[in-house]
């Protein structure tokens, strides 16, 4: 049985060249979820203004169940790939719908900066703090 956990392996990431490979990385072992991910991503990418009022029509258009759509949609939202816009949002003309989110982009940039900073050697106090971490794990 194939694992369904995302594995951020640097070799896999370096080889990604298309959306289908990104779908396999984010939704491993489930071709149906990969198809739904691609449907949502492509529809958002090419709709005018990158704004979809609803995702429900994708079920009929691409022939998958609303339950599977909700599963993939919620995972994409938790990852920070898409976001829901409230009808109270002035920026989007008080329309409710779905957009691409920048949260994943920003989070990955923050992670890069954190790792760079953690690698830097600082002073002896920081070295002592780093060594003391073993006591708490």
Q: What pLDDT score does 123 carry?
A: 81
Query: CATH 1.10.10.10 in the chain, residues?
Result: 1-101
Q: What pLDDT score does 6 carry?
A: 81
pTM: 0.83
d(CA 45, CA 39): 10
Class of the CATH-defined domain 1-101:
mainly alpha
Residues 72 and 37 sit within 8 Å (Cβ to Cβ): yes
Average pLDDT over residues 66-77: 96
């Amino acid at each position: 049985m194939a694992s369904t956990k995302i594995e951020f392996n640097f070799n896999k990431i370096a080889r990604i060249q298309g959306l289908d490979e990104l779908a396999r990385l984010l939704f491993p072992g489930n071709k149906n979820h990969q198809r739904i991910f691609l449907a949502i991503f492509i529809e958002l990418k090419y709709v005018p203004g990158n704004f979809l009022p609803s995702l429900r029509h994708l079920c009929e258009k691409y022939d998958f169940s609303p339950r599977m759509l909700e599963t993939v949609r919620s995972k994409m939202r938790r990852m920070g790939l898409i976001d829901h816009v409230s009808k109270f949002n002035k920026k989007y003309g008080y329309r409710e719908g779905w957009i691409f989110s920048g949260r994943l982009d920003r989070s990955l940039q923050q992670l890069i900066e954190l790792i760079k900073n953690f690698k830097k050697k600082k002073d002896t106090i920081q070295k002592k703090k780093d060594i003391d971490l073993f006591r708490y794990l």
